[in-house]
């Protein structure tokens, strides 16, 4: 059983174009993602061709400008597309979010010449990106990163190791934070590194609890030469670029979390309506119907929270605090909802015959990636105290 028969989410969208875009996304999810998700996850198979399909449909470039080949869509719309993709297959939804994150540095901080040169290729669908910030010894403390880029004429020579890189070894380009100066955040810069650069290699993918179709790997820089023209922003501006990207990326994670939670709820509602005990559907029992009601309420609250933050971003308002709140609440909600979905299915929920157990395994990572939920609380607390 899957949640394929679930009704589409009733969405308030800003335009007819947005409604058509969401309808296209749902069709792709139904025909291209859901039929293969379970098998590919079980086989640890990365669906690279799916991203090519999504790129051809314009779904890898939604929030960026039309002059560079983007979709010129507001974040409010882009995030709802992500939610639909993640409901069908988190590895794909999160992969689109990471690709969008990896384009952010160039699109936001690059020169016009850099954007004209590289951004159309990055947004055209043939390329897939990755974002390189974390390292084996610097995760939450990102400013402690050690991967170093030494200037050598018109090039930088990069040495070091990045960790937990989504699409590591598969990406065509890497937006990489490297140290070009002193210790701490002021010594960090951003380089756009080609995926085929000599001296760049990936370790074998990590063996993960969930999202097994999405490769996560360490990335090794061994004397990698990167032209100075690939420096994004100014030297020493990399940490600012990284934080700016993460504010937007956290909204992507929030939307993905609600997608997974919605898929789990749809499955639970369908199962509860057909599973008979004591002569009637188990959905008729108050204890279980209350559980479903709480699951649905958490999802609606999370969706409203991430959309409110997205609308602030679209309006040019500050949204860092709201992004942290959305990431925190939505991913915690996804974990809670998926655990409850397994409970609704009972013993069946604990088997691989149903996707409930996969949703639960997938939800856990969303509380960790792009800033753990403990870091989100720290960010929110600092905003509240004015620090």
Catalytic residues, by residue number, are 370
Distance of CA 330 to the CA centre of its chain: 13
Give the position of tokens 């098998």: 39
Phi, psi of 166 (to 5 degrees): -65, 130
Helix axes 286-314, 75-88, angle to 10 degrees: 140
Phi, psi of 12 (to 5 degrees): -95, 105
Give the position of tokens 């070009």: 180
Report which of 300, 359, 306, 354 is spatially closest to residue 335, judged by C-alpha positions. Answer: 359
End-to-end CA distance of the chain: 50
Are 302 and 365 within 8 A, CB to CB? no
Instruction: Kindly state the tokens that stand for 243.
Output: 């934080």
Report which of 356, 366, 328, 338 is spatially closest to residue 261, judged by C-alpha positions. Answer: 338
Q: What are residue 194's DSSP bridge partners?
A: 173
Q: Cα–Cα distance between 355 and 93 in angstroms, integer?
A: 16
Spell out the SS3 assignment of 321-376. Answer: HHHHHHHHHHHHHHHHHHHHHHHHHHHHHHCCCCCHHHHHHHHHHHCCCCCCHHHH
Q: What are residue 158's DSSP bridge partners?
A: 149, 224
- 95 in helix, strand or coil? helix
Q: Cα–Cα distance between 315 and 326 in angstroms, integer?
A: 17
Specify the DSSP element, H or E, that contains 23: helix 16-28
Q: Cα–Cα distance between 116 and 59 in angstroms, integer?
A: 20
């Amino acid at each position: 059983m899957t949640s394929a028969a679930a009704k589409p989410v009733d969405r308030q969208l800003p335009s007819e174009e947005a409604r058509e875009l969401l309808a296209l996304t749902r069709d792709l999810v139904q025909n291209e993602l859901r039929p293969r998700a379970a098998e590919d996850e079980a086989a640890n198979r990365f669906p690279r061709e799916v991203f090519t399909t999504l790129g051809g449909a314009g779904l890898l470039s939604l929030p960026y400008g039309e002059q560079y080949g983007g979709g010129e869509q507001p974040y409010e719309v882009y995030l709802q597309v992500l939610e639909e993709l993640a409901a069908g297959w988190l590895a794909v939804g999160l992969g689109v979010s990471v690709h969008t994150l990896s384009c952010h540095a160039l699109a936001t901080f690059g020169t016009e010449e850099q954007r004209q040169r590289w951004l159309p290729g990055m947004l055209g669908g043939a390329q897939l990106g990755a974002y390189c910030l974390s390292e084996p010894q610097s995760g939450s403390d990102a400013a402690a990163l050690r991967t170093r880029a030494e200037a050598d004429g018109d090039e930088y020579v990069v040495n070091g190791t990045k960790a937990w890189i989504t699409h590591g070894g598969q990406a065509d380009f890497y937006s990489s934070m490297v140290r070009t100066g002193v210790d701490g955040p002021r010594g960090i810069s951003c380089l756009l590194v080609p995926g085929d650069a000599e001296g760049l290699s990936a370790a074998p993918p990590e063996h993960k609890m969930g999202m097994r179709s999405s490769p996560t790997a360490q990335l090794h820089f061994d004397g990698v030469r990167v032209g100075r023209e690939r420096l994004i922003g100014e030297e020493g501006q990399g940490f600012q670029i990284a934080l700016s990207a993460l504010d937007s990326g956290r909204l992507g994670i929030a939307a993905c979390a609600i997608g997974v939670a919605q898929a789990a709820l749809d499955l639970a509602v369908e199962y509860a309506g057909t599973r008979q005990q004591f002569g009637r559907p188990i959905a008729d029992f108050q204890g279980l119907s209350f559980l479903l009601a709480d699951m649905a309420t958490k999802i609606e609250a999370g969706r409203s929270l991430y959309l409110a933050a997205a609308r602030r971003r679209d309006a040019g308002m500050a949204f860092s605090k709201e992004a942290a709140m959305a990431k925190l609440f939505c991913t915690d909600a996804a974990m809670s909802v998926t655990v409850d979905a397994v409970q609704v299915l009972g013993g069946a929920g604990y088997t691989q015959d149903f996707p409930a157990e996969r949703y639960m395994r997938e939800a856990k990572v969303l509380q960790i990636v792009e800033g753990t939920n403990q870091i989100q609380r720290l960010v929110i607390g600092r905003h509240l105290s004015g620090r």
